[in-house]
Amino acid sequence: MAVSVEGGKTEGKDYNTSFNNAIKHMASVTRGVVSEAWYDHKKYIAVRSDAELCAITLIGTPLDVYLEPVEQVFQFDPEDRSYENMALAVRFLENAIEFQLKRKKGLWSGGNNSFLKKNPTSNSEDIQTDIYQGFKYRVHQQNGEFFVCVDLAYRYADKNTLTEILKTLPKEQWASYVLGQSFLYLNGDEWYAVKGSAIGGKIGEQPFIKDDFDGTIYDYITTKGLYANAAEPPKLSKDSLTFYHTYTKDGDKKMEGAADLAKPITLAEDGLHRLSINQPHRRFASAEFFVQKYFQNFSFAGIKLAITTVPFIQPCRIIDFPALKYANGHILDPYQSASGVRGAELYLFPKRRRKFTYNYGLLNDDEYMSQYIFVPDTMPFAMQKSIKYYFNRAMMQLDKTFRGFELMTYSMKQRPFAEKVCREFEAMVNTKQLNGSYGLFVLPQLEGNNWFSQNLHKLVKKELFDTINLKCISEKSLKRYMRSAMDTRGAKIYEVPDHKMQDFKSYQVNTLFKYLVVNRKWPYALAKDLNYDLYIGIDAHEFYAGFCFLFKNGEKIVFDIEKTAKKAGNTFRTEKVNSGLIRDKIVEVLTRHLDAGEDFPKSIVVLRDGISWGEEQKALNAAIDKLREDSKIDQSEIKLAVLDVAKSSAIPIRAAVPDQNNMLDNADAGTVVPIREGKECYIFNTGFPYKIPGSSNPIRVSLAWGDIDFDKAVDDVFAMTQLNFTAPDRASSLPLPLKLIDLIIRDVAHEYTYANVQAKEYKLLQDTMEE
C-alpha cells in the first residue's frame, strides 16, 4: 500500500504516529501480518499478498493518511540476507506473533509489544494498586538466525474504578483529573490502555448514534460492543458517567465509554517498583514460563514456528575497568590487590573510587567562586546555623581548599505563591550582585501544601539558570535528620542525633557530589587517554540541547546548553537538533581549545543520546570545513564518527551468568553482547563489582556513521561510564558526557515558567477556596 500523509510530511512525531496507526488499521482490515517496507527509497505498508485491498482515507490519526494499493505485487525473497531484507522478515514475524498473542485468553495488550496477565500478582492484595505482571517481546535477527527476546513487564492500575474515584473529587476537578490521564479500559474480555479526554452524563441517558444503531451508550455497550459478548463482563451500571477517551494523547477521535469500566494506570512510585524487582535467576525462570505458556504453537504463512524455551548461550568479551587519575598524580588501579593476585579485590573498586576522592581531594584545583546557602526567612536562625555548620564540615572533608558557605536568607512573605517568591529571590540576586555565584538552595516546607516546594524548585532552576548556579535541597529532608535541643548555656540549637548521623552523612555526600558537578569540579579522570581524542555528547530535552565535550582522558570537560528553535504549533518534546546549531557549537568550543594553545583532536566521535538524525554527521563535516576555511587547522585527515547510545532498547535483552552455586547472576560490568559485528552491541555496565537490586539493564551502542574501530569506541564508552562523579561508589549505565547532560539539562527542560506557574497557582488557590 502506498502511503501519503497530510501536508506531504515524511518525518516527525505526528507523521510517525499516523503511519503506525495506518499499519494497525491495515492489520485489522486484512486480519493478517502487516509491516512497513522500504522500496526504491520510499516507505510503504506491506501486507499479505492475498489480501483484498482498496483505497482508504484515515482521518485525524492525528494527520490524515491516504492509502492506495500499488499495482505490482512484491514477493519477499528469503535468500536475500541483506540487513534491510532481514529487517522486513523480523517485522513480519513480529506482527504474526502479535496477531496470535492478541487471541490468547487471560492476556491484555499493554502496547509496545507488551502483554499482561489479567490476574494481578499476589503483591497487590494488601495495597490500593493492582500490579499486573506479563512480558514484552521483540523478534531479533543476528547473523541469519532469528530470536524471540522476552523480558518481564509490569503495569500498575488503581484498584478503584474511575466511577469510585470521581465520587471522592469535587465535580469541578473531574475534567482536569481525566484529561491526558492513562486508563486501563475493561471492554468486556478486551482490555487496553487509553488516554482520558472528558466526562459526560450518565450512559443510560446519553444518546449514541452509529451506523444503524440509535439508542443510549449503555444500550450500545451491552448489545453491540465487545462488552456484549464477553464471557466475564465487569459490573456496569446505567448510572455510570460517560468516559470520553482516545487511543493516543494527541488523538482527535474521541470514543464514548463508561467510567465503570475504566481504572487509572499509575506509575511505579511509592515503593511499587520494589515489589516487582526480580533477581536474574527469577527473571529468566519467569521469562521461560511465559515462552512455554504463550509462545508455542505459533505459525507463520502456514508453517509452525519453533520457539525454544531455553535461553541462548554465547561467549561474550568483558572490557577491563580503566585506571583512574586523582589529584597530584595518584592512580587508582581497579585490579591492584594486597595479595598480588590480579583482580582479587576488584569488589572493593566502587568504595575505593570514593575513598580516593576523600584522601587526595579534587583533580581540578581551580579556586571556588562565592558559595552560599540560601535559606527561607521562615526558618529558625538556629537551624540555619546548623545547616551551615554541617555542610561546611562535609564539604571541607571532600576538599580541604573549600573556604566555606555564607548564609543568605530569602523572603517568604509572598507564600504560598512560588512564582512571586522566586521573582523576589531573583530580584535579591540581582540587587546584591550575586550573578554567577554558586549555592545550595533550601526549599521551604509549607504545612498542608504539596505543590509550593515543587513549583519553587522548578522555577529557581529554570528561570535563574543563566543567573546563578544552584543545587536544591529541601527543608523537609533536613528535618528528617535534625532535631531541636538546648546547649550547655540554655540556647536553642539544632543537631543530628547519633542514631541518624550515618544516614545524614549519606544524604550529605550524595548532595555534595552533585554540587561539585554544579561547580564544574571533577573528582578524577582516566589515567590513560581514550582511543579517540574527543567525545561530544549531545542530547535534547523539550526545546533545549545539551553539549558535553570530553577531551582525551576527561581532565578537560566543557559543558554547554542552548535553547533550540521551536517550530510553530509544536508542544511536544523534540529529540532532533539542527545541524547548524551543532556545527556552531563545535566550532566555538574547538576554536577556544586551539586559542589556548592545545592540539587539535585527530579523532572526534559524537555520542548521541538515543537516535541520531543525520544532523550530527552533517554538523561534524561542516565544522571541520569551517575550521579549515578559517585556517584554524591544516588539511590532515581527522577521523569522524557518530555513535548512538540508548539507555533503553526496543529489544528487551537481558544477560546472566552462572555463579558459584550454578544460580544465574548478573553479568560482570563491562560485558559486551554483540548484535551486528563492528556496528552494534549491548554493554552491561551495572554487574559485578557493583551491587544492584534485580537484574542489569544494558545500554545499546551502535555506529550510526563513520570509519572507526567499533570495538575501540565501545571500550571508550565503557571507560566513560566509570567516570561517575555524582555517586562514585555506584554504577552508572551512561557514559559521562551523556550523564552530565541528563543531570543538568533536565532542570531547565520542563514547562514550569513564571507565566504558567502563576496561572496554575491562582487556579489551585481558587479551587481550594471553593471547597
The cell numbers describing 614, all together, are 543525520
Residue 526 has pLDDT above 80, yes or no: yes
pLDDT value at residue 721? 97
Q: What is the mean pLDDT of residues 504-531?
A: 94
Burial of 671 (C-beta count, 10 Å sphere; 0-12/13-18/19+): buried
pLDDT value at residue 565? 61
- State the DSSP code for 36: E
Write phi, then psi, for 738 (nearest 5 degrees).
-80, -30
pLDDT value at residue 272? 64
Q: Reply yes or no on domain 160-266 having CATH 3.30.300.210.
A: no
SS3 22: helix
CA distance linking residue 104 with residue 95, whole number of Å: 15
Residue 614 has pLDDT above 90, yes or no: no
Quote the mean pLDDT of the chain: 89
CA distance linking residue 467 with residue 477, whole number of Å: 26
The owner of cell 561517575 is: 724
As a three-state string, the secondary structure of 55-97 is CEEECCCCCCEEEECCCCCCCCCCCCCCHHHHHHHHHHHHHHH
At residue 612's C-alpha, the angle toward residues 611 and 618, to 5°, is 175
Mean pLDDT is lowest, of 248-262, 326-340, 458-472, 648-662, for: 248-262
More confident residue, 78 or 223: 223
* Helix or strand holding residue 358 (H, E): helix 349-360
Residues, the chain: 771
SS3 655: coil
Neighbours of 756 (CB within 10 A): 11
pLDDT value at residue 296? 94
Residue 620 has pLDDT above 90, yes or no: yes
The CATH class for the domain spanning 371-518 reads alpha beta
Q: What is the mean pLDDT of residues 694-700?
A: 91
Q: What is the mean pLDDT of residues 376-388?
A: 94
Residue 33 has pLDDT above 80, yes or no: no
pLDDT value at residue 78? 81
Domain borders along the chain are 1-75, 160-266, 371-518, 527-745
More confident residue, 257 or 650: 257
CA distance linking residue 701 with residue 172, whole number of Å: 49
SS3 522: coil
Segment 90-116, tens digit of pLDDT? 988 988 898 899 889 899 998 888 999
Question: In the structure, what pLDDT confidence band is assigned to residue 84 with cuts at 50, 70 and 90?
Answer: confident
Q: What is the mean pLDDT of residues 271-278?
A: 71
- State the DSSP code for 491: -
CA distance linking residue 642 with residue 701, whole number of Å: 10
190 bridge partner residues: 187
Q: What is the mean pLDDT of residues 662-677?
A: 92
Give the β-pairing of 207-210 and 213-216: antiparallel
Residue 503 has pLDDT above 70, yes or no: yes
pLDDT value at residue 27? 82
Q: What is the mean pLDDT of residues 597-616?
A: 91
Segment 114-163, tens digit of pLDDT? 999 999 988 767 678 899 999 999 999 887 789 999 999 999 999 999 99
SS3 117: strand
Q: What is the mean pLDDT of residues 705-729?
A: 95
Q: Decide whether 160-266 matches 371-518 in CATH topology.
A: no
Arch. (CATH architecture) of 527-745: 2-Layer Sandwich (3.30)
Segment 233-269, tens digit of pLDDT? 899 999 999 999 997 655 667 899 999 999 999 876 6
Q: What is the mean pLDDT of residues 349-375?
A: 91
Residue 664 has pLDDT above 70, yes or no: yes
Nearest alpha-carbon partner for 638 in 601, 684, 593: 601
Question: In the structure, what pLDDT confidence band is assigned to residue 331 with cuts at 50, 70 and 90?
Answer: very high
pLDDT value at residue 293? 96
672 bridge partner residues: 317, 683
Segment 298-325, tens digit of pLDDT? 998 889 999 999 999 999 999 999 999 9
pLDDT value at residue 416? 85
- What secondary structure does DSSP assign to 169-223, as a single string? S-GGGHHHHHTT-EEEEEETTEEEEEEEEEEEEETTTSEEEETTEEEEHHHHHHH
Nearest alpha-carbon partner for 737 in 568, 573, 559, 615: 559
pLDDT value at residue 574? 53
Question: In the structure, what pLDDT confidence band is assigned to residue 566 with cuts at 50, 70 and 90?
Answer: low
Question: In the structure, what pLDDT confidence band is assigned to residue 271 with cuts at 50, 70 and 90?
Answer: low
